[in-house]
Structure 1
Amino acid sequence: MNIFVTGATGGLGTALLPALAAAGHTVTALARNPRALPELPGLTGLPGDLLDPDCYAASLTGHDAVLHLAALTHARNAALYHRANVATTADLLAACRSHCPDARFLLVSTRAVGATCGAYGQSKAEAETLVRQAGLPWVIVRPAEVYGVGRGEAIAALARTCAKGGLLPLPGRGRHILAPVHIDDLLPAIVTALTAPAALGHTYTLAGPDPVSFTDLADAIASHHGKRLFKIPIPLPLLSLAAFLAGRLLRRPPLVGDQIARLTCPKATDSSAARADLGFAPRRLDISAMFPGC
């Protein structure tokens, strides 16, 4: 297959490109800096930006699938999320209708989807709606928290902190549920979703089989390293206020307001449909596989 990929230089994209090459696909990867792409057989970098559809639209011709990974995940306000996650998806879909109307459109979304999950979650819900209503062959996947990538994912940050032991601030009481999924189990499911006939017109949750609370996961990581944590619950309203002030005062705030809603909102964990249609077979939670070397 000829596959057009957005977001190829992100953490998930960087991991997916070798998997696509190994499956025998040829890939055109849209990137602001194609030199950041790895050298792989069948991979061509296309310089451009999703914000400028004129730079990529004609290049969609001849592709059998479009894999839309690109997304803004941390922003100060809802308008930025809308521009990066909704408007660009609308532009990409319009370009597909004009240049590759039979191509399968695979959107990589998130389990943290919907207004209860903050401005980011709302933007992803709107992007999903656009995909379903575009009149194109489509599939949507919603990965859980990914580990094993080692490129800045939230689980890696938690692992680095907990591996040292000591003080750990908890968002609220830390009872919100995570469903970590290993990158090596996630990739085959996404690659399969590009071609599986049963996947067309479906939305899949890709979650690990061992849902765990934030606080219990933190304890497990610390214990794996022979460390002990002293957890300090931080009330969610206080965290929200801190995020608001940081967004106003700092150029690069360490926390943006919608991250709190995204972390604490209820999320689906049932991956049975993905197991049946995509062969998704996530491993049991493996602390030793968490970055860095946990």
Structure 2
Amino acid sequence: IYVSTNTAGTKSGAYGFTKLLAEEYIQKNFDGWTILRLSEVYGGSIREGIEKLIVDVIEKPYVLCPVGIPSKFYPIHIDDTAQLMHNRIFSGDYQNKISVINGPDGFSFLEVIELTKIISGMRVKVIFLNRKLMFLIKFFARILPVNLGMAPDQVDRLYSIKHYEKSEGSLMKMETYIAKLIKAKNK
């Protein structure tokens, strides 16, 4: 069993490329393998990725929004991720298969921002970052000895094509999670 990423690929930076190489190694050298490609997971205690974006909309006066991304994100709640992983690992139906574990709905960054604004009632300024600017940030992140808040490799993954499979079962909707997060913050 190998846990990979839905951005595994040749154009997904070092992280995505090494995940792809690991997948290929497993397929060639083991029998009865299962590869699980996880989408963006939210709902844990770590504030990163899609979850950080949601929290930023709730807490900050402005948010950065990359645009021109070719694939939508299909974020999935951590509890749903665990359940789907368990089902795929122990069902036996996924031997010698690659399976993508993702949420039920696709979003762009802007769609996540707008959804969070609607649910929270927050007014936040959106600063759009186009592809050229994102790759310029990647360049500076590589050469400067300071942390720009992201690894250069993340830009490649952001603009890569994400793998997707139609989700199964009743999974938590992003709207439900955002509402719960806001309710918890308002206590």
Smaller-chain TM-score range?
0.7 to 0.9
**Contact 2:7–2:157 (8 Å) recurs in 1:** yes
TM-score normalised by the chain length of structure 2: 0.85
Name the amino acid aligned to 1:225. Answer: S
- Cα distance, 1:117 vs. partner? 1.9
| Mapped pair 1:228 → 2:119 | no
**Contact 1:141–1:205 (8 Å) recurs in 2:** yes
1:43-93 C-alpha deviation (Å, 9 max, x unpaired): xxxxxxxxxxxxxxxxxxxxxxxxxxxxxxxxxxxxxxxxxxxxxxxxxxx
2:134 matched to which residue of 1? 239
2:179 matched to which residue of 1? 288
| Mapped pair 1:182 → 2:77 | yes
Total equivalences in the alignment: 183
Name the amino acid aligned to 1:288. Answer: A
1:133 matched to which residue of 2? 28
CA root-mean-square deviation: 2.3
Say which one has the larger Rg.
Answer: 1
- Cα distance, 1:169 vs. partner? 1.9
TM-score normalised by the chain length of structure 1: 0.56
1:264 matched to which residue of 2? 159
Identical aligned pairs, as a percentage?
Answer: 26
**For the structure 1 residues 137 and 268, does the alpha-carbon distance in structure 2 shift closer, same or farther, using more than 3 Å as the test?**
same
- Cα distance, 1:251 vs. partner? 4.8
Question: Equivalents in 2 of 1:270, 1:225: separation in Å?
Answer: 30
Q: Greater share of strand residues, 1 or 2?
A: 1
Q: Secondary structure at the match of 2:11?
A: helix
**For the structure 1 residues 189 and 203, does the alpha-carbon distance in structure 2 shift closer, same or farther, using more than 3 Å as the test?**
same
**Contact 2:54–2:112 (8 Å) recurs in 1:** no
Question: Equivalents in 1 of 2:46, 2:170: separation in Å?
Answer: 23
Name the amino acid aligned to 1:124. Answer: K
Q: Where do 5+ consecutive residues of structure 2 fail to align?
A: none
Question: Which one has more relative contact order, counting CA pairs under 8 Å at least 6 apart?
Answer: 2
- Cα distance, 1:206 vs. partner? 0.8
Question: Equivalents in 1 of 2:164, 2:41: separation in Å?
Answer: 13
